[in-house]
Structure 1
Amino acid sequence: MARVVVMPKMGEAMEEGQVTSWLFKEGDKVEKNQPLFELMTDKTTMEFPCPEDGTLLKILVECDEDYPCGTPIAIIGEPGEDISGLV
């Protein structure tokens, strides 16, 4: 089953963040805890770990744009899986 990855909240004061770069492209296989993207907050830039094994089916946000915490940013699932209800 496909899973939506959301903009993480890395601290109580964090309200928004930026994906500065994706470390994979759509269609790539990803593994749990492998760095998925670089995240910039108001205090630091860090690599964010992939939450599960699967395939990066869809990237939903642009790099270097601010997005509120909780915003859907990507979808991970199985190749060919219908994600129309998640986009």
Structure 2
Amino acid sequence: MWSSKYSEDIKEKVLEMYLHGEANVEKISKRYGIPASTIKNWISLYWEEEQARAERSKAASRRKRRFVNGKELRVVRPTSGSAYIDWRRK
């Protein structure tokens, strides 16, 4: 997720506790010995990532689906400089 001196496991536990309402930032800070400002930063980054994920999902759902002869036409861009067409049955 984010680089720092704390492990990903600790970050995930802290976020889970906070998001599930198990404890507030101050209690988590005392329990794990992590500064409250660090925890608040992790929470902010989490919500920024969630918002970006939701926006990408909305954009994907708004794409117009095109069909030719009963097959869905999809343009796939595995890299920024190339593209190919993928045909899928309905």
TM over 0.5, yes or no? Answer: no
Structure with bigger strand share is 1
Structure with bigger helix share is 2
When normalised by structure 1's length, the TM-score is 0.24
Pick 1 or 2: higher relative contact order, CA cutoff 8 A, min separation 6: 1
When normalised by structure 2's length, the TM-score is 0.24
Asked which structure has the greater CA Rg, the reply is 2
